A = this chain, B = another copy of it.
Amino acid sequence: MNADRRTGYALPQATDELWADIADTPSILVDLDVVEANIENTARHLAERGLANRPHIKTHKLPDLAHAQIAAGAAGVTCQTLFEAEVMADAGISDILISYNVLGAAKHKRLADLAARAKITVTADSAEVVVGLSGAMSANGAAIDVLVELDCGMKRCGVRSADEAAALATLIDGSPGLTFAGVMGYPPPDNGRAAAAALASAASACRNAGLDVRTVSSGGTPDLRYVEADGVMTEYRPGSYIYNDRSLVARGACTEADCALTVLTTVIGVYGSRITLDAGSKSLSADLFGLTGHGLIRGLAGADIHALSEEHGHVLLGSEKPPRVGDRLRVIPNHACVVTHLFDEVILVRGDRFAARKRVEARGRG
């Protein structure tokens, strides 16, 4: 990170005109000290288990943080959209997995262009996707690696058996412009071990079909702490770990102190035991992510953000002393990854010091 360490201004007070210029509300604050600790701890955790780390940048969408992840030893990055991958390639990231079925003429053309300037891997789970990719790569003289996506219980994408995986891998292997590279899955939380077994079985089936399986890839921050070297899995794709959020605190995957991203908000009204914030569903997102309430207010542990309007957070206070109109509060959101998608920029801090301002370059669709 090229931001100055421990320089800058003291963190926001309602009446502080300097901070009012730096960070009006609602806005996102990201604490770099926490980010760096999260990056380092996860890099070590995976390295100790002999697994390549391929962090998912959908959580932050920031080239600088992707570079920090690479500098800490990541093998490359994972992206969920083609635009994220384009932004990462523009920023000089050279090894990119797009863990998604890429379909359609416009995206095929962009994918071929991208493959000319970075090592690109995509996933596929159907013959339609494979045939489309091969046609596009052949037509453009491009080449990409393809992982077969296996449904590990998420019921989202993925072939549904080891035999299907081997059949699709064989199709990929025979398709011009494509190189079969292995298998991947995204398990639902608390299914990491079952997913690892299913991936091992799919990898075996592919090997039995005579194919080289270089990569066996799983992911997800909730199960990151349970990941073990099993002699089969080769890489892991954690995303949310870099910021963490209220859902991960609730799952016991991290503590409140590990949460790097907060939404800075102003108290715009105090009504007895109720207060109203200027952060609503257009700032915190309405994503409950299995929780009750819409975020955790730092310093007001008993407060419940029980409802959101688009630009208002509706809060019932606990027994704490009410804040005043104009006070600024920081909210740990339920789900940091969707909050990233709601703001054009983040304000980087270190503890209570301003560090830098960054555009969320991979937000949007390009």
Q: Are B129 and A325 in contact (CB under 8 A)?
A: yes
Q: Are A310 and B101 in contact (CB under 8 A)?
A: no
Q: Are A106 and B326 in contact (CB under 8 A)?
A: no
Minimum CB distance partner of A272 in chain B? B160
Q: With a CB–CB cut-off of 8 A, which chain B residues contact A14?
A: 103-104
Minimum CB distance partner of A110 in chain B? B24
Q: Are B157 and A282 in contact (CB under 8 A)?
A: no
Q: Are A157 and B80 in contact (CB under 8 A)?
A: no
Q: What does the 1/0 interface line of A241-281 toward B look like (CB < 8 Å)?
A: 00000000000000000000000001011110010101001
Q: What does the 1/0 interface line of A90-107 toward B look like (CB < 8 Å)?
A: 000000000011011111
The verdict on A312 contacting chain B, using a C-beta distance below 8 Å, is yes
Minimum CB distance partner of A125 in chain B? B269
CA distance A100 to B311 in the complex (A): 9
The verdict on A36 contacting chain B, using a C-beta distance below 8 Å, is no
Q: Are A126 and B325 in contact (CB under 8 A)?
A: yes
CA distance A325 to B365 in the complex (A): 21
- Also in contact, A21 and B106, with CB within 8 A (given A157-B268, A310-B80): yes
Q: Are B365 and A344 in contact (CB under 8 A)?
A: yes
Q: What does the 1/0 interface line of A275-308 toward B look like (CB < 8 Å)?
A: 0101001100111100000000000000000000
Selecting from A45-53, A65-73, A210-218, A335-343, the interface stretch reads A335-343
The verdict on A141 contacting chain B, using a C-beta distance below 8 Å, is no
Q: What does the 1/0 interface line of A323-338 toward B look like (CB < 8 Å)?
A: 0111000000000011
Q: With a CB–CB cut-off of 8 A, which chain B residues contact A338?
A: 281-282, 286, 310
| Residue in contact with A343 in the complex, picked from B26, B104, B365, CB distance below 8 Å | B365
Q: Are A24 and B268 in contact (CB under 8 A)?
A: no
Q: With a CB–CB cut-off of 8 A, which chain B residues contact A134?
A: none
Residue pairs across A and B with Cβ atoms less than 8 A apart, 12 shown, are A20-B106, A21-B105, A100-B268, A103-B326, A104-B266, A126-B325, A128-B325, A151-B271, A156-B276, A286-B287, A310-B338, A342-B342
Which of A's residues lie within 8 Å of B, judged by CB?
Answer: 14-15, 17, 20-21, 24-27, 58, 80-81, 100-101, 103-107, 125-126, 128-129, 132, 151, 155-157, 160, 266, 268-271, 274, 276, 278, 281-282, 285-288, 309-312, 314, 324-326, 337-338, 341-344, 364-365
